[in-house]
Amino acid sequence: LATVGGGATSHVAILARALDIPAVAGMDPRALELPDGTRVLLDGGMGQLRINPSPEEVSRIIQAQARLAAKKAAELASAADPATTTDGHRIEVFANIGGLAEALQGMQLGAEGVGLLRSEFLFLDRATAPTEDEQTATYAEIAASLEGRPLIIRTLDVGGDKPLSYLPMPREENPMLGIRGVRIGLDRPEIFRTQVRAILRAAKGHPIRILFPMIATLDEIRSVKGLVEEERAKLADSDPVELGIMVEMPSTAVLARQFAREVDFFSVGTNDLTQYTLAMDRGHPKLGSKADAINPAILQLIAQTVAGAAAEGKWVGVCGGLASDPQAVAILVGLGVKELSCSVPAIPMVKAATG
């Protein structure tokens, strides 16, 4: 997949990664002028599209593909083993999913749970929102498929670059800084309350946790918790559910200790944390290569998040794209991150990278 728009963490790239399709985003628009039939070589690792490659280049790539396939096979062979560093430190490797199929695939590849169910995928591509009963059934089905492994369900994270046709949003000057994620839930709570009730009902008998996206202020998490409590009070029979927030705004990382008093866990969304810290749109074709979560400013914010959480006895996972980057695994583990939630195809590789 080669696109002239988007960046490495825009949602098209996330879908490509989940499907294990080599992809390069944000290419020179002249790529659109290539005549049909031009031989090209797409190198997703290098982020390059090479035109009319020489026979030597092609044979180099074929050899590299064979080496990669052998490495993948070796990683797959040990994917069911727990991820442990050479000094015996255990890391949980979870899956990022959009639905049941990916949950099943994730477990085959060694996932120890689901760290991020992007629930918006259940709301897209349809004319109306799924009902409470439909959602309850879907969440319970996914949880049951995990055979006792934990399932972290993120509440609807639309707006910004993910519009919903049946939830018309007023046009905004800067949608990425507007009513998106949990802000929609607070602004128009009906869809949010329905979803919360569905999750609470599915959590009866399943290890489900709830994760809230785009929390920037303490007020927001307190309001959200208030809504959850109100909905739980309406249910005849419900167990307490662990609540977590995405850390994807610099403000949340900076005030991690205060937020840690409000919730049970954090999940760092490096895709948005990077765009909001560096002021670089994650979907911008020119800035994409610079909007890299391995930037020391982002790592510093993750360290601050872990320290704030630890001070209150809470734990931190990472579910943004950085968790699927084998080069970042040692850094994240060293910073004290306990759980890495990855795109499904990356799970064996990330597990291998911890050893």
In whole angstroms, the minimum distance from the beta carbon of 268 to Mg ion comes to 10
Partner from Mg ion, ligand PEP, none contacting 319, C-beta within 5 to 8 A by type: ligand PEP
Residue of 89, 206, 284, 319 with catalytic role: 319
Distance CA(243)–CA(228), nearest Å, equals: 10
Beta bridge partners, 2, equal: 24
Residue whose Cβ sits closest to Mg ion:
272
Burial class (CB in 10 A: 0-12, 13-18, 19+), 353: buried
Is the Cβ of residue 93 or residue 201 nearer to ligand PEP in the bound state? 93
Residues that bind Mg ion (CB under 5 A): 248, 269, 272
Query: Around Cβ 108, how many Cβ atoms within 10 Å?
Result: 12
**Residue 11 falls in the annotated catalytic set:** yes
Contact 2, 49 (CB under 8 A): yes
Distance CA(204)–CA(270), nearest Å, equals: 31
Chain centroid, CA 97 distance in Å: 8
Is the Cβ of residue 158 or residue 202 nearer to ligand PEP in the bound state? 158
In whole angstroms, the minimum distance from the beta carbon of 95 to ligand PEP comes to 12
Contact 259, 215 (CB under 8 A): yes
Return phi, psi of residue 189, to 5°. Answer: -70, -5
In whole angstroms, the minimum distance from the beta carbon of 72 to Mg ion comes to 28
Is the Cβ of residue 182 or residue 241 nearer to ligand PEP in the bound state? 182
Tokens of 34: 């290539």
Contact 197, 234 (CB under 8 A): yes
Chain centroid, CA 154 distance in Å: 10
**Residue 319 falls in the annotated catalytic set:** yes
In whole angstroms, the minimum distance from the beta carbon of 232 to ligand PEP comes to 25
Is the Cβ of residue 53 or residue 121 nearer to ligand PEP in the bound state? 121
Of 211, 287, 285, 199, the C-alpha closest to 238 is 199
In whole angstroms, the minimum distance from the beta carbon of 76 to ligand PEP comes to 25
Is the Cβ of residue 179 or residue 352 nearer to Mg ion in the bound state? 179
Residues that bind ligand PEP (CB under 6 A): 14, 118, 157, 248, 269-272, 319-320
**296-311 and 270-278 are packed helices; what angle lies between their axes, rounded to 10 degrees?**
120
Catalytically active residues, by annotation: 11, 319
